[in-house]
Amino acid sequence: MKHNPLQGIRVVDFGHFVAAPAASQTLAELGADVIKVEPPEGDWVRSGTSLGESILRSYNRGKRSISLNLKDPRGLEVAERLISGADIVLQNMRPGAMNALGLGSDRVRELNPRAIYATVSGFGLHGPSRNRPGLDIAAQAESGLMAITGELGGTPLRVGTTIIDAATAHVLTEALLAALLDRERFGRVAPIEISLLEVAVHLQSTEWTGYDVTGTAPQRRGNGQPGVAPAADLIATKDGYIVVSGYSAQHWPRLCDVLGRPDMATDPRFADNNARVANRGALLIALSDALGDRTSEQCVELLAGNGIVVGAVRSYDQVRTAGDVIAGEFFTRGENQDGESFDVVRMPYLLGEQHDRIVRRVPRLGEHSAEIAAEIGYTGDELNALIAAGAVRAEGPAVHPDSVTSSA
């Protein structure tokens, strides 16, 4: 039986791009009813760009879409009715936008004291940058992450994906689940504040603690850990690259034996960790010489079979066909607005014994406006009036008066 731990929980999602919608996507996967509130022109992810389409498919499946003009008092009233019956309200609009619309945390608390209100910002709500717009790349830059990413002597680099957006979504999901538990167990309801900058700093906890311990700020140095070797070091193989870690007193001599080079274990340049770090260049040449006549997969089989941490550097095509990815069913199926099916990564954990094989569809803009309006008490005539006024956008023609009745 599929687990639906959030069945009966309603989420009103004013999010866009990744951080907030990705969190509510997880809540939808866990059984929550997620209502995606979009402007009449639709969320930016419906812009027709490949990036927008990718975000739309990744983080908006299984939700219901209602399209509202929140600048119209009548559209705002619909949103307020939605909020009145919500368990969670989340948003990552530009700073101040929700307050300007009249849907800030204080107003939400007035409408629904049980609603958990979550805000995602770029730089936090209390510092000098609280009014700045923020995206993933700005958080990567201002958190120090770009400063430590790249080759020694090279320029700063961004991580190759929107890692801060994705991590913020995970952190937000964690906070929302904790808040729901807090509300149910103790009756406490508190707003949630998360910033991309704080998440980006938190992701570097080890580096910040190391900075405190040593007094030396971490620097860009490409691959490899600065204080241990070999650790995450890149080694060229016959057909690509691998990364290897074997720096402990137990694993270093084992690595040397496996490679048929027991002399390296006692070589003064490599005899202990400090020596290996100081002579990393010579160490990598020696390891490359010992492994370079094997393919990456042969290296993985040899080293992993002897308890050495190793990984083949794989392309996206190779990842998609990797045995562990297939066996773990990392990918599931989604359905686009037009019915086209596509592959998408599923939640990165299992809840219960069965994988989630439900195909969740991306909603069309305003697809569920009439349905949701009925649930919060609007009649067909009232909805038609809202549609005619431009306060609500609903898919298809005007609603017949008898086709939408109050179910509130």
pLDDT at 356: 64
Q: If you count them, how many residues does the chain have?
A: 408
pLDDT at 289: 94
Using the predicted structure, report yes or no on whether residue 405 has a pLDDT greater than 80.
no
Q: Which numeric CATH code is attached to 10-202+330-367?
A: 3.40.50.10540
Question: Quick check: do 10-202+330-367 and 233-313 share a fold?
Answer: no
pLDDT at 406: 38
* Alpha-carbon torsion (117, 122, 126, 130), positive or negative: negative
Q: For residues 208 and 218, give the distance between their C-alpha atoms in angstroms, rounded to a whole number.
A: 9
Using the predicted structure, report yes or no on whether residue 390 has a pLDDT greater than 50.
yes
pLDDT at 350: 84
Burial class (CB in 10 A: 0-12, 13-18, 19+), 134: buried
Residue with tokens 């095509």: 317
In the sheet where 392-393 sits, what is the strand order? Answer: 192-195, 116-121, 88-91, 10-13, 33-38, 64-68, 392-393
Locate the domains of the chain by residue range: 10-202+330-367, 233-313
The mean per-residue pLDDT over the stretch 136-158 comes to: 96
Structure tokens at 274: 């400090």
- Please write the tens of the pLDDT for every residue from 293-329: 999 999 999 999 999 999 999 999 999 999 999 999 9
- Please write the tens of the pLDDT for every residue from 232-250: 999 999 999 999 999 998 9
- Please write the tens of the pLDDT for every residue from 55-109: 999 999 999 999 999 999 999 999 999 999 999 999 999 999 999 999 999 999 9
pLDDT at 399: 57
Residue with tokens 């040899």: 302
pLDDT at 128: 96
The residue type found at 62 is: G
Alpha helices in 270-379 (DSSP H): 273-278, 280-291, 296-304, 316-320, 323-327, 369-375
- Pick the more confident residue, 60 or 395: 60
Which of helix, strand or coil describes residue 172?
helix
pLDDT at 225: 87
Q: Is residue 165 flagged as an active site residue?
A: yes
Start-to-end Cα distance in the chain: 30
Q: Which numeric CATH code is attached to 233-313?
A: 3.30.1540.10
Q: What is the average pLDDT score of the chain?
A: 93
pLDDT at 226: 83
Using the predicted structure, report yes or no on whether residue 355 has a pLDDT greater than 90.
no
Q: Indicate which residue of 165, 272, 289, 338 is catalytic.
A: 165
